[in-house]
Structure 1
Amino acid sequence: MNRTAFVHDWLAGGNAGAEKVLVEMLNALPQTPIYTMVYQPADFVGTPLEHAEVHTSAIQHWPKGVSSYRTYLPFMPYQVEQFDLTDYDTIVSSSHAVAKGVLVGAGQLHVSYVHSPIRYAWDLYHQYLREANLTSGVKATLAKIVLHYIRLWDHSTANRVDVFLANSHYVAQRIWRTYRRPAQVLYPPVDVARFDHTRPREDFYLTMSRFVPYKKIDLIVETFTRSGRPLIVIGSGPDFEKIRATAGPNVQLLGRQSDEAVADYMSRCKAFVFAADEDFGIVPVEAQAAGAPVIAYGKGGSLETVVADVTGVFFGQQNVESLTRAVGIFEARAEQFDSETIRKHAEQFRPERFRAQFSAILAAAEEAKRSGTDPEQAVLALDLRNL
């Protein structure tokens, strides 16, 4: 019997998109053990991760290891290599940081689902240093040296992976640029069933995100403050107070909300606004599952999840003028957007389809490994469209 293990970067800090992917992998392969840097069960109450078999690294027991795990990033490449996975036939890593660098033997199959190559070491390197105020001085030099060596390690560990999976074509392009390896695209699962697309639309716009710079919530708030159009903002994060200080009376900042409240607002909003350059972007798909048109920045994953003039409208630059024009275009065409059509588009991302595609990928890769052929080519040859 084939034995499988999952390796995930960390299970702490909230149940985000990467963790939702892991949940559906676990639903496809119940009782599969998980290896991860740190684990905070309280973050996953009510999910399959709450009672999963989880093995952690030494960081779990270090001072503030669970609450401040990111400060231990320089030690994570070493720690992920300490997981002993010799008893498993197949290793599936779920990686946006170090999980793909796990050590595997020649007889083992390693399939790596890459949410993104390490963004703060590669694409967002200079932005990360600026936002962390690490552009000069001793601390900045140390940070640059650490990230330099993480890049070297990250690139070298690509050879430990038999098959790369990407969460979008956008990320597949970045995997090729970073590792010079092709990747099969497996879109993340979105729980479309929890959204109601049949309710009447009301006269307010909606956005939802963590309040961090690259999400561009400040741009959305400034744009709607200037126009006077009603906007509801859900989410929290480091920039919350700074953005709240700039918001006009037409903008409501609600902070974090329950899943039920989020589904309610998405089911009623006039349109959902999304201004980030994301690898995939689950939230715009959730909005479409609720029948809401999306006004999105036309770069990155949004180009794969939003259909221009069918499920939404794109804007070309991350500035007030471009977003304002897009909102005006949307309002002029608002009657052409049909909630039923938008919901039908979102259905392609349902969890059941993800599990079927994931299972087909693993079956093809494992059969290729057993027969002595190339698992990567076997997976790339799969046509997942009909699953």
Structure 2
Amino acid sequence: MDAERITEKLNILADAAKYDVSCASSGSKRKNENKGLGNASNGICHTYTEDGRCVSLLKILLTNHCIFDCAYCVSRKSNDIRRAAFTVQEVVDLTINFYRRNYIEGLFLSSGIFKDADFTMERLVRVAKKLRTEHKFNGYIHLKSIPGASDELMREAGLYADRLSVNLEMPTEEGLKLLAPDKDRQEMIKPMGFLKSEIIQRTEENKLFKKAPMFAPAGQSTQVIVGATAETDQQVLYTAASFYKGYNLKRVYYSGYVPVLADKRLPGLNTAVPMVRENRLYQADWLMRFYGFKVNEIVNHQQPLLDLDIDPKLSWALRNMQVFPLDVNKADLHLILRVPGIGLQSAQKMVSARKFGKLNWEHLKKMGVAVNRARYFIVCNSNDFERRDLTGSRIKQFILAESQSKYLKNSSTQLNLF
């Protein structure tokens, strides 16, 4: 392996991969200087498992050559950039070498389209197959499925990859037609349906036969780009909800549009989507998946955009003050979960603990409740902290003021450290 050429390829293809957020990653370029310990190379990113562990992944494209000319993509065929492509063996060798040096625990591999879907997907599958069968690699592998690839290749990919994902890219079919007219929405959706069926079938087989092979045990996910077209948060979240329900997705990732290219089809060419909008979408997604909220409770035709000043749970609570105050010693779990400042684990602890006695504010603090928020919406076995005489707008002002005060205090503390 020509080390200098491989390093050049790695720089190009790791940089091109950074726009795909569907492994919940953040890049790292920390260099080892002055004979220090460790070296975070280009292409190493981090993701988090369901139990909270941080996992380092080699995140690269197989190639940034592409037959498509999508307006939003830095790798589009009309863009004048340096092009590169790894061979299958080069990706395998990089993964093994990085793993042995304890830089990574797994691989996130995507790709531009060489000449057609099957040609590209076959190479992605070969990388995973070589790692699993020739090197007995048991680390995490996430493969980007190529829309239009055959069912046979998708089935083989599921036997070697932990997770598979197909990017929807645009939240709506109209947006895709505008910015990527060469792509077919149905070709993106078809492999999702195939993977759903295969995952269900293989899960049933695993229940019956202990030695049945695993199939994409970490499930499938997708990514949508937000802000490249004019869809509202309501449209984005309805799309996410429908795919969660219809295709049993593990995650939908939201990628705020980054204006890397000029194109007359794109709105606001010099305006990146505010990071806070991306964060609010993730918070709303969390509410749908774990807190029992429906899309029309978070956003609706009258309010199609998420409030950027406050999180969506607080926004819902302020619009529904008639529900409050809740008595946490009597209220059902599904209502307690709707209280700002009370998380999933805290709510479950509260419901379990109140069987043994009345809960007061000290109990709630110990259970992890953010009483500075929750006090506006609940009552317990104490009158301290309660603020039930305020309107929703006044509560919002108080909470924003408290947040600003905390931010200034923390900033001051950090400055004093220097």
TM-score band w.r.t. shorter chain: 0.3 to 0.5
Q: Which has the larger radius of gyration?
A: 2
Give TM-score scaled by structure 2 length: 0.32
